């Protein structure tokens, strides 16, 4: 059933075997997997079927550290959650992402890639993706009919990122949720607090409120938090009725290790000798009757190991925008704001050394034509990098309050020298490979000695790490099954449990982990443990 | 502002990505005057940054060439060496561009010979 919680009577108490908090990819996948199980499931979603400004405002909070998007814009509170505005990129984590790696402090999962492998396979259909050899690059290159670029396999690996349509989980699966007999989904149901027993070792109930509606209670034998990596620590920290530091926070780890996928777009501009058809393999999405493939280029595991680097991923973007056009724009913006752009001398030099580009810029402006006057095969690769685990990168409660009077959460995201090293070394190696293969030559500011983070570092809004997974309660919030350490019945399925995050977009892994959790819950139900 | 600053990146790339090297031709061939001028301009920029040897003799020695005629410097024989430079990370940075050290030396040698009036 799919119900509007605002229709419930005031102070109602609902009972279930399992209460899922959050109706995004994680929560919906978990619920769908449990349809037909002996478990009575309640799913609570903060939003409705559509965007609502007041509901969305509940996600707001200050940005306290490195540049970031407004928090209210970085997640969506409606059925389907942030799948309502995702790009659809799917790729599993790599085996190396699960390892404790020398040179990457705090890295490693308590599970391996093999532990998730079959769940990745089972997750593919949820995202409307190919199921036949989805991550076999040669298979897809052959099907597309373009040869892969001959990168040195010790340096770069071509990967076939899978493209979901993208699946909007709320709209796609609302009907199945409506028809589910053992799953009741409540919309507009905002969980304000989890109430624990007197030793804070078990959650007894969730206190829930609707905007302009009733407050009610959900009691359950088990709770699964399936929200994002900012909202989960917020709820745990707000649930401080018994444990003053919040639930699961006896070692002060809740909210620490915040990470995201960040990107320098572009990290370089390169001019190919000519329009190489092989580059088309990477610079376009290729769609099929089911799903699609967007080939990308990843730093190899060999180089990551040898140089102790985090993950780096390149997308080739066919931009037709040259350095001269960019500099012209930078200088104009600088004049408009009364500020000089970074590397002023370089910007001016670019105007004179890239007259083709400047001509194109003026031509576009004068004619309104998007096509360039002088067609040059420029590419502007985007470099996405993995943020390494950093305990000083945090989300924590602040003194601001939301419309329920609840404390908001602030984001203090921090990057380290490791990420900067990944950007610089990744760029350098990519440029060298372009030259070695004979594709062309590249221009970049990234390799300057005085290079610093640009004004805009793109964010994936993939909130990871804030309730990280570890076998040891002193180094993680949840165990290898996603159960909160020290609590018997509180589980988490979210990117918030990722101790290391690789370069892969997290959504597929989130789906795979929810399927794994559903299997665990079914097993527990069969054994009488749940 | 010198000619490097005035030249288009098209010329830069013509020189840098192999056209100057007479791609496709196995033997030494005369280089088109315009492209030679581009290589010389790049060479001036290379010399200004100081990333390779600064005089013709040292550049010849580093490259292992004895050619007197600058036009015959630019042949496909350098392509493998340039690729090897990239493979081993033997590169230099000039005005934001990354070049193989060998191509930077070749262009610098061209500029140096022009400076001496030898071409």
pLDDT in tens, A214-267: 999 999 999 999 999 999 999 999 999 999 999 999 999 999 999 999 999 999
pLDDT at B116: 84
pLDDT at A349: 54
* Average pLDDT along chain B: 76
A354/B7 touch (CB, cutoff 8 Å), yes or no: no
DSSP B39-60: HHHHHHHHHHHT-S-SSHHHHH
Contacts of A356 in chain B (CB under 8 A): 8-10
Pick the residue from chain B with its C-alpha nearest to A432. B86
B10/A376 touch (CB, cutoff 8 Å), yes or no: yes
User: Cα–Cα–Cα angle for A2, A166, A36, nearest 5°?
Assistant: 35
| Continuous segment of H or E residues that includes residue A176 | helix A169-179
A443/B82 touch (CB, cutoff 8 Å), yes or no: no
Nearest CB to A432 within list B91, B95, B96: B91
Q: Could you read off the pLDDT of A505-521 as tens digits, one per residue? A: 999 999 999 999 999 99
In sequence order, the 6+-apart residues with CB closer than 8 A to the CB of B44 are B2, B3, B4, B111
Q: Quick check: A149 contacting B, CB < 8 Å? A: no
The two beta strands, A2-4 and A183-187, are parallel
pLDDT at A15: 98
The two beta strands, B97-100 and B91-94, are antiparallel
Burial class (CB in 10 A: 0-12, 13-18, 19+), A328: buried
Share of chain A above pLDDT 70, in %: 89
- Phi/psi region, residue A11 (left: phi>0; alpha: psi -120 to 50; beta: rest), is left
CA distance A284 to A84: 23
CA distance A41 to A24: 15
pLDDT at B36: 77
Contacts of B51 in chain A (CB under 8 A): none
CA distance A254 to A146: 47
* Shortest distance, CA A355 to any CA of chain B (angstroms): 6
Nearest CB to A352 within list B5, B89, B99: B5
Burial class (CB in 10 A: 0-12, 13-18, 19+), A116: buried
Q: Which of A432, A433, A447 to mutate to test the interface with B (most CBs of B within 10 A)?
A: A432
Share of chain A above pLDDT 90, in %: 84
Contacts of A153 in chain B (CB under 8 A): none
B95/A353 touch (CB, cutoff 8 Å), yes or no: yes
Q: What confidence category does residue A359 fall into, taking pLDDT thresholds of 50, 70 and 90?
A: low
A442/B89 touch (CB, cutoff 8 Å), yes or no: no
pLDDT at B109: 92
Domain spans in chain A, listed from the N-terminal domain onward? 2-57+73-129+164-259+459-527, 323-375
Span A453-480, average pLDDT: 97
Highest mean pLDDT, choosing among A272-286, A396-410, B12-26, B56-70: A396-410
pLDDT at A502: 97
Q: Quick check: A349 contacting B, CB < 8 Å? A: yes
pLDDT exceeds 80 at position A346: no
CA distance A493 to A514: 6
pLDDT at A350: 56
Q: Which of A151, A330, A436 to mutate to test the interface with B (most CBs of B within 10 A)?
A: A436
pLDDT exceeds 50 at position A104: yes
* Shortest distance, CA A104 to any CA of chain B (angstroms): 24
Q: What confidence category does residue A384 fall into, taking pLDDT thresholds of 50, 70 and 90?
A: very high
Number of Cβ within a 10 Å radius of residue B83: 17
Tokens describing residue A83: 């799948």
B18/A438 touch (CB, cutoff 8 Å), yes or no: yes
Q: What is the CATH T-level fold of the domain A2-57+73-129+164-259+459-527, as seen in this structure?
A: FAD/NAD(P)-binding domain (3.50.50)
A444/B10 touch (CB, cutoff 8 Å), yes or no: no
User: Cα–Cα–Cα angle for A253, A258, A260, nearest 5°?
Assistant: 155
CB A430 within 8 A of CB A381: yes
* Shortest distance, CA A374 to any CA of chain B (angstroms): 11
In sequence order, the 6+-apart residues with CB closer than 8 A to the CB of B38 are B7, B11, B12, B14, B15, B20
How big is the A-B interface in CB pairs under 8 Å? 82
pLDDT exceeds 70 at position B15: no
CA distance A211 to A231: 18
B67 vs A119, more confident? A119
Pick the residue from chain A with its C-alpha nearest to B82. A436
pLDDT exceeds 50 at position A80: yes
Span A477-494, average pLDDT: 98
pLDDT at A357: 57
* Shortest distance, CA B104 to any CA of chain A (angstroms): 13
* Average pLDDT along chain A: 92
**Sign of dihedral through CA atoms A330, A335, A340, A343?**
positive
Contacts of A434 in chain B (CB under 8 A): 86
pLDDT at B17: 44
B7/A273 touch (CB, cutoff 8 Å), yes or no: no
* Shortest distance, CA B119 to any CA of chain A (angstroms): 25
Q: Quick check: A431 contacting B, CB < 8 Å? A: yes
* Shortest distance, CA A435 to any CA of chain B (angstroms): 6
User: Cα–Cα–Cα angle for A257, A258, A259, nearest 5°?
Assistant: 110
**Weakest-pLDDT range from A17-31, B43-57, B105-119:** B105-119
pLDDT at B74: 75
- Strand partners for A207: A193, A217
Nearest CB to B96 within list A433, A435, A443: A443
Contacts of A428 in chain B (CB under 8 A): 89, 98
A435/B97 touch (CB, cutoff 8 Å), yes or no: no
Number of Cβ within a 10 Å radius of residue A50: 11
Tokens describing residue A401: 């309050």
CA distance A417 to A116: 31
pLDDT at A107: 98
Whole-number Cα distances in Å, A494 to A24, A79, A100, A339 = 10, 16, 21, 42
Q: Could you read off the pLDDT of B93-104 as tens digits, one per residue? A: 998 889 999 999
Span A358-386, average pLDDT: 68
Q: Which of B10, B12, B17, B22 to mutate to test the interface with A (most CBs of A within 10 A)?
A: B17
pLDDT at B22: 39
Q: What confidence category does residue A166 fall into, taking pLDDT thresholds of 50, 70 and 90?
A: very high
CB A63 within 8 A of CB A71: yes
Residues of B with CB under 8 A from a CB of A: 1, 4-10, 12-13, 16-18, 79, 82-87, 89, 91, 93, 95-100
């Amino acid at each position: 059933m799919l119900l509007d919680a605002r229709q419930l009577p005031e102070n109602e108490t609902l009972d279930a075997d399992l209460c899922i908090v959050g109706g995004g990819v994680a929560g919906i996948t978990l619920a769908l997997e449990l349809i037909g199980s002996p478990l009575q499931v309640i799913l609570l979603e903060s939003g409705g079927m559509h965007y609502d400004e007041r509901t969305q405002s509940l996600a707001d909070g200050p940005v306290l550290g490195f540049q970031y998007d407004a928090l209210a814009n970085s997640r969506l509170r409606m059925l389907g959650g942030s799948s309502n505005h995702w790009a659809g990129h799917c790729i599993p984590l790599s085996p190396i992402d699960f390892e404790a790696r020398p040179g990457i402090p705090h890295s490693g999962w308590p599970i391996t890639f093999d532990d998730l492998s079959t769940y990745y396979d089972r997750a593919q259909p949820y995202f409307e993706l190919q199921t036949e050899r989805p991550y076999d690059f040669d298979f897809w290159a052959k099907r597309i009919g373009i040869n892969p670029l001959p990168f040195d396999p010790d340096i770069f690996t071509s990967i076939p990122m899978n493209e979901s349509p993208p699946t909007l989980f709320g709209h796609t699966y609302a009907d199945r949720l409506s028809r589910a007999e053992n799953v009741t989904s409540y919309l507009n149901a905002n969980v304000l607090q989890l109430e624990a027993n007197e030793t804070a070792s078990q959650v007894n109930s969730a206190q829930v409120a609707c905007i302009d509606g009733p407050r009610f209670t959900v009691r359950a034998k088990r709770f699964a938090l399936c929200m994002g990596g900012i909202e989960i620590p917020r709820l745990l920290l707000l649930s401080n009725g018994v444990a003053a530091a919040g639930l699961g926070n006896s070692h002060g780890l809740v909210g620490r290790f915040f990470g995201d996928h960040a990107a320098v777009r572009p990290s370089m501009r390169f001019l190919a000798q000519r329009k190489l058809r092989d580059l088309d393999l990477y610079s376009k999405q290729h769609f099929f009757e089911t799903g699609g493939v967007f080939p990308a280029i990843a730093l190899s595991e060999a180089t990551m190991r040898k140089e102790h680097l985090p993950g780096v991923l390149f997308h080739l973007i066919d931009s037709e925008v040259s350095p001269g056009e960019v500099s012209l724009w930078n200088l104009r913006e600088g004049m408009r704001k009364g500020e000089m752009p970074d590397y002023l001398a370089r910007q001016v030099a670019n105007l004179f050394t890239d007259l083709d580009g400047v001509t194109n810029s003026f031509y576009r402006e004068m004619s309104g034509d998007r096509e360039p006057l002088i067609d040059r095969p420029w590419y502007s690769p985007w470099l996405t990098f993995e943020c390494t685990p950093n305990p000083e990168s945090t989300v924590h409660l602040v003194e601001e309050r939301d419309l329920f009077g609840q404390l908001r959460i602030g984001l203090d995201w921090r990057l380290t020298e490791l990420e900067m090293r990944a950007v610089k070394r990744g760029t350098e190696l990519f440029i060298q490979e372009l030259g070695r293969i004979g594709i062309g030559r590249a221009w970049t500011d990234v390799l300057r000695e005085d290079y610093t983070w640009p004004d805009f570092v793109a964010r994936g809004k993939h909130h990871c790490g804030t309730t990280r997974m570890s076998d040891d309660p002193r180094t993680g919030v949840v165990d290898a099954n996603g159960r909160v350490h020290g609590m018997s019945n509180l589980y988490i399925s979210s990117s918030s449990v990722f101790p290391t995050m690789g370069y892969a977009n997290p959504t597929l892994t989130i789906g795979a982990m929810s399927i794994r959790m559903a299997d665990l819950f079914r097993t527990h139900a069969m054994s009488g443990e749940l | 502002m010198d000619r490097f600053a005035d030249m288009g990146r098209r010329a830069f790339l013509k020189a840098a990505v192999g056209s100057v090297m007479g791609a496709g031709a196995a033997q030494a061939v005369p280089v088109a005057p315009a492209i030679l001028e581009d290589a010389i301009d790049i060479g001036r920029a290379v010399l200004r940054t100081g990333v390779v040897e600064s005089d013709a003799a040292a550049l010849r020695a580093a490259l292992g060439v004895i050619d007197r005629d600058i036009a015959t410097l630019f042949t496909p024989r350098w392509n493998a060496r340039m690729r090897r430079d990239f493979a081993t990370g033997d590169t230099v940075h000039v005005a934001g561009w990354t070049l193989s050290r060998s191509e930077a030396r070749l262009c610098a040698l061209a500029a140096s010979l022009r400076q001496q009036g030898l071409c």
